[in-house]
Amino acid sequence: MEILMIVTSGVIIAVGVYLLMTRSILRVVFGIVMLAHGAHLLILTLSGLQQGAPPLLTEEAASYADPLPQAVILTAIVISFGITAFLLVLSYRTYKVHQTDDLEELRGNADE
Amino acid sequence: MSTLHFVALAPFIMAVLIPVFYFKFRKIHTGWFVLPLPLVLFLYLLTYIPAGGDPMNPVLNSVPWVPSLGIDFTVYLDGLSLLFSLLITGIGTLVVLYSIYYIANKNGEPLHNFYVYLLMFMGAMLGVVLSDNLIVLYVFWELTSLASSLLIAYWFHKEKSRYGALKSMLITVTGGFSMLAGFSFLYVLTGSFSIQEIIAAAGTISGEPLFITAMLLILVGAFTKSAQFPFHIWLPDAMEAPTPVSAYLHSATMVKAGLYLVARMTPVFGMLTEWFWILVIFGLTTLLWGSISAVRQTDLKGLLAFSTISQLGLIMSLLGMSSAAMHYGAAGSEALYTTAALAAVFHLINHATFKGSLFMVVGIIDHETGTRDIRKLGGLMTIMPVTFTVSLIGLASMAGLPPFNGFLSKEMFFTASLNVASMDILNLETLGFFIPVAAWTASVFTFLYCMIMFVRTFTGKFKPDNYEKHVHEAPAGLLVSPIILGGLVILFGMFPNLLAYTIIEPTMQSILPGLLNGGEQFYVNIYHWHGINAEIMMTIGVVFAGAAITLNLKKWQQTFFFNRERDPLNAVYDSMLDNLVTGSQIVTRAQMTGRLRDYMVYMSVFISALGLWTFFRYDSFAVDIGAQTPVPVYMYIITAVLLISTLALPFVTHRITNIVLIGVVGFIIALLFVIFRAPDLALTQLLVETVVVVLFLLVYRHLPEIKKESVKGWSHAVNAIVAASVGIFVILAGLSVHAMRTASDITPISDFFIENSYTLAGGKNMVNVILVDFRGLDTLLEVLVLGIAALGVVTLVKHRMKGDEDV
């Protein structure tokens, strides 16, 4: 199952990178969201899948899933949520000011 | 820590106190507070002069700085260091005294800047000549460049000052870098940064190919600092500095740092044929170029600048010639071979005295008349008699006339060039003849520019209309320093043997250490009359040729090279600087397109290329198909849905479909968290995903439909390839990590958390315990990040801009 998940997260990340390179601001935000998903899945997969009980001591199992990557991912989920929210509002603002969501039109002069 | 360490550090300590003196005692010229320091240092250093003609015993004292890298602040005082330290502190004293009267304490003149820079230079220069460690020497060396640059730009409101400062900085610091590379090579060869240890090892490393490279790199540093052709162009522009600075840094001390380095390195590199020829050829070229250029200057300081360049070239070539003695082994200690070293040291001292006094005199003329232009000056002989007398002494010495010290060293220069030309080594039997020829030709021009300065400034008719102020003799305070230096010119001219075994012989020992057994000394006896020989004939020839040209000066001034005052090599420097700017602009414009997509491509390509190259380089790719958890059937279905939603995302333009796809991906990720035994993650993901979807919907209200991408086909293809390569890199890295993890059977560090989360933190949910307890500070900062993001959101939504702001 690890290899399947690694490939899946690789595909998600590739799609995220592809979206980052598109012209529409919203798609760039999609790209960020996808990158985050791929990264989270990858970290979890690399720590080993389905080895032991959930990391709750109340389960009283012989072994537990590794809690440390989960803590890291939890932090990452929250941070990426913050970024997504900020980027969304930023794109809203950009559209309000410039009346375009096309990054090609939004680019500055070459001299700047 | 010895007293000598403090000698180098004292000026820095003093520099820190200068602002206090300046702001607390505004009425008193800050220079008076500075003056005692170099004087005390000078008197202290005098005590190191060997008494009674005994050989000098070098002093060595080390303080560890970065011992792990072999970098210690080691002071080493031998004849060469002593000579330079005395010059730095002695001339320093006179220059400070002179500057007190030169830069008046009025009109808010930033005297504290001036003296801080000057003290910084003094300390750095003492550090250069006292340090035995190459890295410490380099640090001080660059500090002198910095101080010099700051002093040139002292009157920074002037465009030319800034230009000169930048130029000197760029040229000398570039040379310094090259020198650092040379030092590093020496370290690679010998394993030591200590000059004395490198000298001891010189014989064993001389065959290495890096040895010559090190020599060339170090010489670039020395040549840039000592204004050798073709790097000399910074020195004339450095004349924008206040005249005390020109007298101190740009004639007596800093520009001689390159000579110091060459003299210091002679025991290391002296046996190389290249060393001899590079020094002689570049030295003589500089000598000729400088003296010829000096003739056509109309600014007195410009004339002195080119004169300094040429004299530096003279000493440089003498140092090259003195290395020839090393090829003769013990026989090299005979006077026939050591004359060059003797002449180099003696002329170095003489140049400091007469050029220092001449710079100060020019400063006085500038100060009292308001101009340094020889086309306006004239007839000052009777108006400024003291200034005139001092100039006459300095100019006669520089021109090489008896009985002044310049005559003695110029005679020795001729002797050395004739001696070298008669040697039968280093191809000198075929090429040596041109050395005396160049020496004689340059001396004619030297005589000529001395005459020009004398004739145009002091003789002729005095025209009061040429000056903006009333011209009169300078105040006594301004005259003291040049008079002292002029007095030394006469003293050393009359009694040159005062210096023989006190300064000159110990210095020669430092330059040519291998030739003598312990306790032996070089024979130094300097006297005026050697009988009718080739040297005296050369001098007489110089005087006659020079006088003849001076008499026909009008005719000569019609010729081509008289008409251009600026050095033609400046065009090279200026165009290099211009091309650097335009070149940087081209490079910047080529990559800084302002397109987010291009930057993303750069980053993605770089990351995947770096990663893939690392796999290839360290052959670290690994796959382990065996060690896997079995895949239940429902996982295939879930993964298929996830992949289809993901892959569809780039192709869908309908907004609601997009949000549905994003939602599907997010919720399936949450589902996977559940399957993979991560309940906390699943909960968080569910919550966040819901909010994100709502947010998207909110923003949709205000944003337009997503248009189909309308870019050229190949651009799409590039994007796809780049994205795919990043994906492939991620997959490869993931597979390798997985294989390595199963193969090496590591124990994860999380066992600690599993064992201790209840006993140490009292929580049974390990993930939560890690977040709020073990890694509590991280979570706190995470909250901070969220807070900042929230603030940003609020500001962007609430803040109403009118539309004409520059966003």
List the single residue in A48, A96, A107 with the smallest CB-CB distance to B595. Answer: A107
Residue B753: φ, ψ to 5°: -70, -35
| pLDDT at position B570 over 60 | yes
Amino acid in the structure at residue B453: M
Average pLDDT over every residue of B718-726: 91
- Whether the CB of B693 is below 8 Å from some CB of chain A: the reply is no
Instruction: Residue B724: list chain A partners with CB under 8 A.
Output: 14
Whether residue B403 has a cis bond before it, omega within 30° of 0: yes
Largest CA distance in chain B: 113
pLDDT at B280 > cutoff 50: yes
Instruction: Give percent above pLDDT 70 in chain B.
Output: 96
The predicted-structure confidence for A29-59, as pLDDT tens digits, reads as follows 999 999 999 999 999 998 877 667 888 877 7
Question: What value does the mean pLDDT take over residues B507-527?
Answer: 79
Stretch B540-558: mean pLDDT: 79
| CA separation for the pair B264, B196 (Å, rounded) | 10
Alpha carbon distance B360, B94 (integer Å)? 10
> What would the mean pLDDT of B141-167 be, rounded to a whole number?
90
pLDDT in tens, A58-89: 777 777 888 888 999 999 999 999 999 999 98
Residues whose CB is less than 8 angstroms from the CB of residue B160 and which lie 6 or more positions away in sequence, other chains included: B237, B240
Q: What is the reported pLDDT for B3?
A: 84
Q: Which two tokens stand for residue B312?
A: 């530096």
B799 pLDDT above the threshold of 60: yes
**Interfacial B residues in 715-754 facing A (CB < 8 Å):** 719-720, 722-724, 726-728, 730-731, 734-735, 737-738, 741, 748-750, 753-754
Confidence class for position B802, pLDDT limits 50, 70, 90: low
CB B80 within 8 A of CB B69: no
CB contact under 8 A, A7 and B629: no
Q: Closest Cα of chain B to A62: distance in Å?
A: 11
| Nearest-angstrom CA–CA distance, B174 and B230 | 14
A23, A81, A110 ranked by CB distance to B688: nearest: A81
d(CA B300, CA B10): 35
Q: Where are the domains of chain A?
A: 2-51+63-102
> Could you say which of B676, B706, B737 has the minimum Cβ distance to residue A49?
B676
pLDDT bin (cut points 50, 70, 90) of residue B711 is: low
Fold classification of A2-51+63-102 is Helix Hairpins (1.10.287)
Closest chain A residue by Cα to residue B592:
A110
Give the whole-angstrom CA distance, residue B585 versus residue B574: 17
- pLDDT confidence tier of residue B603, bands split at 50, 70 and 90: very high
Tokens 């020395």 belong to B222
Which chain A residues in 30-89 lie under 8 Å from chain B, judged by CB atoms?
30, 33-34, 37-38, 40-42, 44-58, 64-71, 73-75, 77-79, 81-86, 88-89
Q: Which of B625, B719, B765 sits opposite A21 (nearest CB)?
A: B719
Asked if pLDDT for residue B52 goes beyond 70, the answer is no
C-alpha distance from B159 to closest chain A C-alpha (Å) = 26
| Residue A105 touches chain B, beta carbons under 8 Å | no
CA–CA distances in Å: residue B796 to residues A33, A95, A106: 20, 12, 18
User: Which residues partner with B72 through β-bridges?
Assistant: B64
Task: Provide the 3-class DSSP secondary structure of residue B562.
Answer: helix
When the pLDDT of each residue in chain B is averaged and rounded to a whole number, the result is: 86
Q: Cα separation of B291 and B442, whole Å?
A: 6
Partner A contacted by B674 (CB < 8 A):
no
Which pair of tokens denotes residue B778?
A: 């991280």
What is the C-alpha separation between B379 and B459, in angstroms, rounded? Answer: 4
* Range with the poorest average pLDDT among B62-76, B570-584, B694-708: B694-708
pLDDT, tens digit (0-9, with 9 covering 90-100), for B482-505: 899 889 888 888 888 888 788 888
CB contact under 8 A, A74 and B677: no
> Mean pLDDT over residues B534-554, rounded?
81
Nearest partner of B312 among B279, B273, B264, judged by Cα: B279
- The confidence score (pLDDT) of residue A112 equals 45
Give contacts of A7 with chain B, Cβ < 8 Å: 731
The predicted structure's pLDDT at residue A12 = 95
For B370: left if phi > 0, alpha if psi spans -120 to 50, otherwise beta; the answer is left
- Using a 10 angstrom Cβ sphere, with 0-12 exposed, 13-18 middle and 19 or more buried, the burial of residue B7 is buried
B790 chain-A contacts, CB cut-off 8 A: 82, 85
Q: Which residue has the tokens 């680019």?
A: A107
Q: Residue A67: closest CA among chain B residues belongs to which residue?
A: B767
Q: Which of residues 530-589 of B touch A (CB under 8 A)?
A: 589
